[in-house]
Amino acid sequence: MKTAWWIEWPYAAWITVALVLLTVLSLSLHAHAEEPGPQESHPQSDGPPGLFIKIAPPARQLIAAEVSGLPADRTLTLTSLQGIVNQTEPRIFLVEGGFARLWLDWLVTRGDIDGVRYVPAAQTEALIEEFKDELRGQVVVDPRVPATLNLATMIAALDRLLITYPDYAEHYAERYGLPIVTDLRGLFNRNGEAYRWALDNLWARLNHHALALLHPDVPHPRDFIIQQKIWVWWQGGTADSGGLANRLAELTVTYDVLKAAPVNIPVLGYPWKGEGVGLGEHGGVDLLSRYGKFLVPSDLARNLSVHANTRPPARAALQNEAPDSPSPSEPDPDKVYLAVIVSDGDNVQALLNYFPRYFEEPEGRTAPVAWTISPAAWDLIPDVVDYYAARRLPGDAFIAAVSGIGYVYLDRYGADLPNKDEAVRGFLQLTSDYMDRMGLTMLWPMVPEGPVPQSVLALYAAEIENLQALFPDYGQKVPTYAQATYTLEARGRTVPVFHAMGGETPLARSIQTALADAPRPAFVHVFALNWNVSPGDLAALDAQLGDGYVIVSPEQLVALFRR
């Protein structure tokens, strides 16, 4: 998920300058004060009791439609059908390789559904015939203007229109009796123009408890965006915005959306799709943070319209259990004690499509591992939360990723809002509430450059009442052990801090190198980059490190450090 900051920050800096210019020049650029449009938001969201609207439990017999190998346009059409049908009751689940069948089996095991009716890829269009009575017609995209795919997604959500392309829209009208109700062809010349029209004409009809920042070519979470009736748009970058004028036009829309939307709401999707495509990870998170919005990375997460409506887990489902082998009463003065923290559990698609391999085939691992997980998963993928609670190995632990309820940079959170402190408190309260629901007592924060400052860590320590420890940084950002491990005083409590050490490949060697000059005993957060570390790597780590190192759970690490 995380990408190199030196690639993205020049553009992020440009974005900041551009937004300042837009603030000064807004009247000349678009005459904001004279046009109808969204008004600036209230400080907090008045949305649903959770992060998202609960529709209904999934149908007892779920339809699983295979879309692997289908053309991108037909996949988008089926995704729009799924989202519309699932607005009243989740009935369609799309299967596209990976662990999709694992999740279907888990829904049966968990009792969310009784069974599955599989539809092969060659027969998926029959679902349009099956559900055509729930559709009002079609919305046709303009392939020349990518923004129309996002406009069509919102129109599909609001008007129950199937998203189609020009080369088969007429055929669908004849075959299924679905008239072309909205035709986006030829209405717009540029993306910025299209998004401005959408803001003026669609925003007021949409739900405002969440946003989605999604590249037009990415279909995966659109079922959920349609089900939830969420605003979706894309902010182009240096390589994909079609020139400076269109980029500025898009930015005026982005600026207006972020001002109009409530504070402390999730933004689905992801702001990057390759070098120069989009704002970039850090530029995007920075901009969202400044307006008090948190990113829930989910651009490649399918079937959220089903997952989000499964029954909630038991409270504190991820509360860390005592390992089979208790920690020693006193630390050995010659040992290094390590808690291995696996990164990127804030990324919903990692939880759906990547992490299961560690649990399905652990390859004989016996040493404990700490898995990062988004507290937002409680609402977005409750069935998946239960899967990890059930399948963890003895001693395995879970900690909150990456900034709390969503991915932000807390030092700049709410910076462009009238009341920054109120936004920060709201974010941390939301984080604390969801950590308590899941049974999480430890947190992994990061910033785009360098180690997380103590001033930021102090905010977490002060505002999250049940916080037991902090494990900062995305990879090793401090040069020595002396700077990595210490305690933080906040509101009369002492919170241990363990900055990441090691993390390069091979993992064992990077740990040994990073700690070569560290005093013993040492107490260390080992950063394990999930995209680079295999189940076999984790299984072999204990033996590769040797007798001078002891892998423990985060709870054991904290207890030993305190002693």
Asked whether residue 294 falls in the same domain as residue 350, the answer is: no
- The residue among 157, 112, 152 whose CA lies nearest residue 306 is 112
Asked whether residue 426 falls in the same domain as residue 529, the answer is: yes
Q: Identify whether 432 is part of a domain.
A: yes
* Distance (Å, whole) CA 190 – CA 180: 22
Asked whether residue 37 falls in the same domain as residue 154, the answer is: yes
Asked whether residue 342 falls in the same domain as residue 247, the answer is: no
pLDDT of amino acid 9: 43
Q: Identify whether 313 is part of a domain.
A: no
Determine the distance from the C-alpha atom of residue 244 to the mean position of all C-alpha atoms in its chain, rounded to a whole number. Answer: 29
Q: Identify whether 327 is part of a domain.
A: no
Domain total for the chain? 2
**Residue 534: CATH number of its domain:** 3.20.20.490
pLDDT of amino acid 1: 52
Q: Identify whether 453 is part of a domain.
A: yes
Asked whether residue 127 falls in the same domain as residue 168, the answer is: yes
Q: Identify whether 524 is part of a domain.
A: yes
Burial of 98 (0-12, 13-18, 19+ CB in 10 A): middle
* Distance (Å, whole) CA 40 – CA 291: 11
Asked whether residue 417 falls in the same domain as residue 547, the answer is: yes
- The residue among 257, 234, 256, 230 whose CA lies nearest residue 247 is 234
pLDDT of amino acid 144: 98
DSSP 8-class letter at 407: B
**Angular region, 511: left φ>0, alpha ψ -120 to 50, beta rest:** alpha
* Distance (Å, whole) CA 162 – CA 491: 55
pLDDT of amino acid 328: 66
* Distance (Å, whole) CA 264 – CA 296: 12
Asked whether residue 245 falls in the same domain as residue 347, the answer is: no
HSE at residue 193, side-chain half, CA atoms within 13 A, is 9
Asked whether residue 364 falls in the same domain as residue 409, the answer is: yes
> Of 265, 286, 307, which residue sits at a domain end?
307
pLDDT of amino acid 29: 33
Helices (H), 238-362: 244-260, 281-290, 304-307, 348-353, 356-360
Q: Identify whether 418 is part of a domain.
A: yes
Q: Identify whether 323 is part of a domain.
A: no
- The residue whose two tokens read 């009736």 is 229
With beta carbons less than 8 A apart as the criterion, state whether 461 and 488 touch. Answer: yes
- The residue whose two tokens read 């950002």 is 477
Q: Give the Cβ contact number of residue 171 at 10 Å.
A: 10
Q: Which two tokens stand for residue 390?
A: 């059930």
Asked whether residue 201 falls in the same domain as residue 300, the answer is: yes
* Distance (Å, whole) CA 222 – CA 318: 29
3-state secondary structure string across 205-249: HCEEEEEEECCCCCCCCHHHHHHHCEEEECCCCCCCCCCHHHHHH
Q: Which two tokens stand for residue 457?
A: 């860590």
> Of 268, 288, 307, which residue sits at a domain end?
307
Asked whether residue 14 falls in the same domain as residue 118, the answer is: yes
Write the single-letter amino acid at 458.
Answer: A
- The residue among 5, 32, 42 whose CA lies nearest residue 426 is 42
With beta carbons less than 8 A apart as the criterion, state whether 11 and 238 touch. Answer: yes
Q: Identify whether 539 is part of a domain.
A: yes
Asked whether residue 67 falls in the same domain as residue 172, the answer is: yes
Pairing assessment for the beta strands 161-164 and 115-119 based on DSSP bridges: unpaired
Determine the structural domain holding residue 504 and report its residue range. Answer: 336-562
Q: What is the pLDDT of residues 351-403, one digit of tens each?
A: 999 999 999 999 999 999 999 999 999 999 999 999 999 999 999 999 999 99
* Distance (Å, whole) CA 115 – CA 209: 32
- The residue whose two tokens read 């990879």 is 475
DSSP 8-class letter at 302: -
* Distance (Å, whole) CA 306 – CA 284: 28
**CB-based contacts of 400: which residues, under 8 Å, 6+ apart?**
372, 373, 374, 375, 431, 435, 438, 440, 442, 443, 444
pLDDT of amino acid 241: 83
DSSP states along 119-156: E-GGGTTHHHHHHGGG--EEEE--TTSTHHHHHHHHHH
**Low-confidence spans in the chain with pLDDT less than 50:** 3-12, 14, 17, 19-37, 41-45
Asked whether residue 106 falls in the same domain as residue 194, the answer is: yes
pLDDT of amino acid 557: 97
Q: How far is CA 99 from CA 104, 128, 351, in A?
A: 9, 25, 10
